[in-house]
Homo-oligomer: A and B are copies of this chain.
Amino acid sequence: MNWENYVQKVVPYVAGEQPKDQNVIKLNTNENPYSPAQGVAEVIRNFDCEILRKYPDPNVSALVDILAQYHGLDNNQVFVGVGSDDVLAMSFLTFFHSEKPILFPDITYSFYDVWADLYRIPYECQTLDENFCIKIEDYKKENGGIVLANPNAPTGVMAEVSVLEEIIAANRDSVVIIDEAYVDFGGASCVSLIEKYDNLLVVQTFSKSRSLAGMRIGYAMGSSKLIQYLNDVKFSFNSYTMNTLTIVAGVASMMDEAYFRENIAKVVATRERTKLELAKLGFTFGDSKTNFIFATHKTVPAQEIFEALRKNKIYVRYWNKPRIANYLRISIGTDEEMDKMLTFLATFLKQK
């Protein structure tokens, strides 16, 4: 016998590549092409490093308070973690502690089944319809919890809040998590439903719309009861997950609403323009409300386009998986980056 018998063996999630080559046009991990708010740079530059000798505030109060205020919630309705992945993983561990399967779509954020496997949570994937939309009735069966990304990833498709409310209302006996990582780019948030449904947890992130993927800040909002349970598990895992610099940087980002709006408006404008150009080139795609476009070409296989782009140092995301193997997920970069990609695609597709 050997110690390896006692090891938890898992198949890890594979994140989009982070190339060291600075010349790569990186449209593969849904990063924001613009800098974080100027105030973030200022608080970091002026940070007094002496205080790093002390542990951070375990309650992350400064950031919790400003988020609560921003979203019109009490500060006992907000939980902050190391990116929304940390928040979601901890939420799975906390709320999906049932023998019944949790439900999520067959095509969605590919971390959901990884977390379920890690924590041995039974799950059942529900098939999206041919337009990648959820079917409400799929989420009206017995379950141990529900998680829905809205807008969904990697499809970019959004469900109306009324559709989600119907699902939340039909499942008062389990927790429904709405993962709104991309909601700021034009989606409608379920935050407004929190007061009405104590089984609703809404998760958002600073990684996309706030240009802070490198800082790792995500958060959950819900009834004070849900947040209390989440805090109990967090404090059973690691009292101090958010470091002191991250807390001040997050607060600084929240202080600059004008920049936040401007940044989003730029990404959205580029996205809409890119949609028109991609359509001209023979691509089809849903009406993405995110910072990426999930596109398929009418004649040329996605994998072929993916490899050609990659060879030319333009990275997009491709999954060789059922139902989506003919799609590319293209993050929205700067106008200049998108133009380079579109120019390359025009030339490449003409040769086909």
Asked if A309 is an interface residue, CB under 8 A from chain B, the answer is no
Please determine whether B8 and A97 come into contact, CB atoms closer than 8 angstroms.
Answer: yes
Which one of A2, A32, A239 has the highest number of Cβ atoms from chain B below 10 Å of its Cβ? A239
Please determine whether A243 and B216 come into contact, CB atoms closer than 8 angstroms.
Answer: yes
Asked if A276 is an interface residue, CB under 8 A from chain B, the answer is no
State the Cβ distance, A173 to closest chain B Cβ, in Å: 5
Asked if A319 is an interface residue, CB under 8 A from chain B, the answer is no
User: For residue A2, which residues in chain B have a CB less than 8 angstroms away from its CB?
Assistant: 172-173
Please determine whether B237 and A89 come into contact, CB atoms closer than 8 angstroms.
Answer: yes
Cα A94 to Cα B4 with chains together (Å): 10
Asked if A47 is an interface residue, CB under 8 A from chain B, the answer is yes
Choice from B4, B13, B36, B93 contacting A8 with Cβ under 8 Å: B93
Residue of B nearest to A98 (CB): B6
Please determine whether A85 and B239 come into contact, CB atoms closer than 8 angstroms.
Answer: yes
Please determine whether B44 and A31 come into contact, CB atoms closer than 8 angstroms.
Answer: no
Q: A53-B211, A213-B53 are in contact. Are A83 and B240 (CB under 8 A)?
A: yes
Asked if A35 is an interface residue, CB under 8 A from chain B, the answer is yes
Which one of A35, A175, A212, A236 has the highest number of Cβ atoms from chain B below 10 Å of its Cβ? A236
Asked if A238 is an interface residue, CB under 8 A from chain B, the answer is yes
7 residue pairs, one from A and one from B, having the closest CB atoms? A12-B235, A52-B214, A6-B98, A41-B49, A214-B244, A53-B211, A8-B97
Known: A1-B173, A26-B54, A243-B246. 15 other contacts (CB 8 A): A2-B173, A3-B172, A5-B98, A6-B97, A8-B229, A9-B229, A12-B231, A36-B49, A40-B52, A53-B214, A55-B214, A56-B214, A86-B237, A86-B238, A117-B236
